[in-house]
Amino acid sequence: MPANSSSDSSILEQLSAYGHKKLVYCNDPDSGLKAIIAIHDTTLGPALGGTRMWSYATEGEALEDALRLSRGMTYKSAITGLNLGGGKGVIIGDSRKDKTETLMRSYGRFIKNLNGEFITAEEMGTNTRDMEFIRMETNYVTGVPESIGGAGNPAPFTAQGVYLGIKASVKEVFGTDMLAGRTIVVQGIGNVGEHLVALLRKENAEVLISDINQEQLTYVARKYKAKPIEADKIFGIDADVYAPCAMGATVNNKTIERMKFAIIAGSANNQLKDEVLDSELLMKKGILFAPDYLINAGGLISCYSELTGFGKKRTVQLTENIYEATRNVIKLSKAEQIPTNIAVNRIAEKRIADIKKIKSTY
């Protein structure tokens, strides 16, 4: 939800503000499950979106995350050319301490009750094993392990798309998409971030990394010869690219003021705290923003392939399109003098509106 939405407004008002269809609160005291599923739009198909498990400070924060993330999924599917709507699940809790088989299976039963209107996958704080538990209760889950017929962890495809989005942006700013010698800061080196670091280092980019998980930071720094930096030092660093791969809203008026990056391109959903104001600030400062839901769609493509039976070859092909799609969005943004996130929204909204029209034919 954009920052200007008021948490004082009623839940129905919050749903109406950005066209959300449905909200499901899941409460199971026996397993300790407290979750929210948000369904934004199903014009293009069933609402697909990962399930995030996070220690939200308040219920309101969890709701806001679910609403913002589900809307992003509608746009992500639309721009990627997939026949899926947008949804998202959030489970309130610490994934390292509170996650159990019963909790995930209980959550699976809530998904089952939605009869296919919502299909989930892994997200921050959840993994393929969790999807396997959900699968024990419902078929409306993707990203299950390959050993039981799924496409496995979608994160490598997400990382591949982000890598291509970075290359397309680097081409725009520096005239070549070669990454050797470019300095790239990756914030968050979990599932996606670690795969991204591997791809960047393979091309000899200089990679700086930060994570609140010290163990992971040390491990990734050693394995890929990346340079660890303190989390609060990120925004003053002189680097070519900032790749946010942790939480959203890290791009805001306070951080933009300190930024010396030429490009922002990462996997984190909803990187801009305020979609309108922050994108204008970035434009004024001459920082190129590769819209998050455009370049982080690789994982969604992998989930879609699992659902439709496309297979890995098609997943790779569709993920590779992200390079050209990013170039096209940058072109439109320059031609119309509008921020890249507004340009990509326009293309996504047009596809949804066009498909809505053909659905009037029985």
Distance CA 256, CA 52 (A): 27
- The distance of closest approach from Cβ of residue 188 to ligand NAD in the complex, given in angstroms and rounded to an integer, is 3
Residues pairing with 210 in the sheet:
187
190: contact with ligand NAD by CB under 6 A: yes
Strands 33-41 and 22-28: antiparallel
Q: Does 55 bind ligand NAD (CB under 6 A)?
A: no
Nearer to ligand NAD by C-beta: 32 or 248?
248
Identity of the residue, 246 or 334, whose beta carbon is nearer to ligand NAD in the bound complex: 246
CB of 70 to ligand NAD, least distance (A): 12
**DSSP 8-state secondary structure symbol assigned to residue 233:** G
Nearer to ligand NAD, 217 or 357 (CB): 217
Q: For residues 285 and 283, give the distance between their C-alpha atoms in angstroms, rounded to a whole number.
A: 5
Of 130 and 240, which CB lies nearer to ligand NAD in the complex structure?
A: 130
Member of 150, 152, 193, 291 binding ligand NAD (CB under 6 A): 193
298-308 and 155-174 helices, crossing angle to 10°: 140
By beta carbon distance, the residue nearest ligand NAD is 190
Helix (H) or strand (E) holding 87: strand 85-92
Q: Let me know if 350 is a catalytic residue.
A: no
SS3 call for 334: helix
Binding residues for ligand NAD restricted to 25-44, rule: CB under 6 A: none
CB 271 within 8 A of CB 295: no
The backbone torsions φ and ψ at residue 49, rounded to the nearest 5 degrees and listed phi first, read -170, 150
SS3 149: coil
- In the shown chain, the binding pattern of residues 158 to 187 toward ligand NAD, with x for contact by CB under 6 A and - for none, equals x----------------------------x
Taking CB under 6 A as the criterion, the residue among 191, 315, 326, 333 binding ligand NAD is 191
d(CA 297, CA 287): 22
128 is a contact residue toward ligand NAD (CB under 6 A): no
DSSP state of 8: T
User: Among residues 46 and 298, whose Cβ is nearest to ligand NAD?
Assistant: 298
Q: Mind telling me the catalytic residues?
A: 88
Q: Give me the residues that bind ligand NAD (CB under 6 A), please.
A: 123-125, 154-155, 158, 187-193, 210-213, 216, 231, 245-247, 267-269, 296, 299
